[in-house]
Amino acid sequence: MAAISSLRRLLTQKIRTPTGCLAYATHGNVVGQTEPKQPSFVGRHFLTLKDYNKREVEHLLWVAADLKTRIKTAEEKYKPLAGKTGALYFQKRSTRTRMSSEAGFSILGGHPLFLTDNDVHLGVNESMYDSAKVISRFVDFFLGRVYYHSDLEEFAEQASIPIINALSELYHPLQALADLQTLQENYGSLKGLTIAWVGDGNNIINSLMMAAPKFGINLKIATPKDYGLESFVIDDCKKITKEHGTDLHITTDPMEACENANVIVTDTWISMGQEEEKLARLKAFEGYQVNKKMTEVASSDWCFLHCLPRKPEEVDDEVFYSDRSLVWDEAENRKWTVMAVMLTLLKDHVLKTPKPRF
């Protein structure tokens, strides 16, 4: 009730902008129907956060926060995507990405079509080129989880609708957005935080590397020797850290990464598609399980993130189920962030809540 009345109070603080348009006064920000300075993403692809600058990622997170507040307080039924359809195509399993995008798109009034390789010819009987041309005639956007990032790039090149990466072997940008939203909510701001990554040099950390430094977040990354980061990802990240004045520290020592870190993050040691490497990986990652010892050298305000699904080998129960573990909020935020992406790629969104502090 308190949340509803404070939102109502906020929404009634109407003011006039210099152009005479209606807007809403918030904590130092002016937002409203005619806010001229908001970035517009309509028609863009969302394949990696490398393609989105700080202001654009901030805008996506603001839209996610705005939707979360407005829809959770049930102030209004907000259906800006009524009449839109979207293809949600999955070559790999998914709980969070599939459900958050399917539910989220429906909540916004859209009609999702869930497709797998068993349902469509894409990439099996029909080339990416032909599929992209045809699918663009049927739906308003295409969200795809694929084995090869290059397939999404090829699809995006030919499609005339926005393409959203729902995870490839290289990036999982939707996950990084949810992680940033969760940290913003937990710490009240992102600037100056240090994230420690303990685990595989995979798609999840690659995506954090493309986004976190833009918010003044430092990264300390520990991976086993033969499971490190790709050099082009390091190079891209270094350009971002240089531009935003943050640190990137790469090591093979998990304790070194966790020292003084605010956030400890890990993921599975065996990503989808790597099942045959299981035995070799379990051996190579010995000593990388996130546990109490690692949290003891971290900052006193430490928290834990994991994109899920989780296996006990990469984080023990004591940390995973502790009150410092934000994994359930992180999972929920997958919904608000993917809704923000789908919405902003299809139409400009009118923000009604204050900009979060980043």
Nearer to ligand CP, 129 or 328 (CB): 328
Residues that bind ligand NVA (CB under 6 A): 167, 202-204, 267-268, 271-272, 307
What would the DSSP string read from start to end of 175-220?
A: HHHHHHHHHHHHHS--TT-EEEEES---HHHHHHHHHGGGGT-EEE
Tokens read off for 293: 């010892």
Residue 95 interacts with, from ligand CP, ligand NVA, none (CB under 5-8 Å by kind): ligand CP
Site for ligand CP contains 94 (CB under 6 A): yes
Nearest approach, Cβ of 227 to ligand NVA (angstroms)?
12
Q: Which residues contact 210 (CB under 8 A, 6 or more apart)?
A: 48, 49, 50, 171, 173, 176, 236, 237, 240
Site for ligand CP contains 175 (CB under 6 A): yes
Nearer to ligand CP, 94 or 184 (CB): 94
Residue nearest ligand NVA, Cβ-based: 271
Site for ligand CP contains 167 (CB under 6 A): yes
Residue 355 interacts with, from ligand CP, ligand NVA, none (CB under 5-8 Å by kind): none
Nearer to ligand CP, 62 or 90 (CB): 90
Omega before residue 39 within 30° of 0, cis: no
Nearest approach, Cβ of 114 to ligand NVA (angstroms)?
17
Nearest approach, Cβ of 232 to ligand NVA (angstroms)?
18
Residue numbers annotated as active site: 307
Eight-class DSSP state of 17: -
Residues 269-288, one symbol each (x = binds ligand CP by CB under 6 A, - = not), give --------------------
Which run of H or of E encompasses 115? strand 111-116
The distance between the two most distant Cα atoms of the chain, rounded to a whole number of Å, is 66
Site for ligand CP in 3-42 (CB under 6 A): none
Site for ligand CP in 298-317 (CB under 6 A): 307-308
Nearer to ligand NVA, 21 or 103 (CB): 103
* Amino acid letter, 225: K
- Triad 307, 183, 89: Cα angle to 5°: 35
Nearer to ligand NVA, 165 or 218 (CB): 165
Nearest approach, Cβ of 92 to ligand CP (angstroms)?
7
What would the DSSP string read from start to end of 274-299?
A: -GGGHHHHHHHTTT--B-HHHHHHS-
Quote the CA–CA distance of 272 and 292 in Å, as a whole number: 28
Nearest approach, Cβ of 167 to ligand CP (angstroms)?
6
Nearer to ligand CP, 218 or 333 (CB): 333
Cβ atoms within 10 Å, residue 11: 15
Exposure string (b/e) for 91-129, b if CB count within 10 Å is 16 or more?
bbebebbbebbbebbebbebebbebeeeebebbeeeebe
The closest of 252, 249, 316 to 284, measured between CA atoms, is 252
Site for ligand CP contains 194 (CB under 6 A): no
Residue 337 interacts with, from ligand CP, ligand NVA, none (CB under 5-8 Å by kind): none
- Summarize as ranges the residues that interact with ligand CP (CB under 6 A): 94-97, 167, 175, 307-308
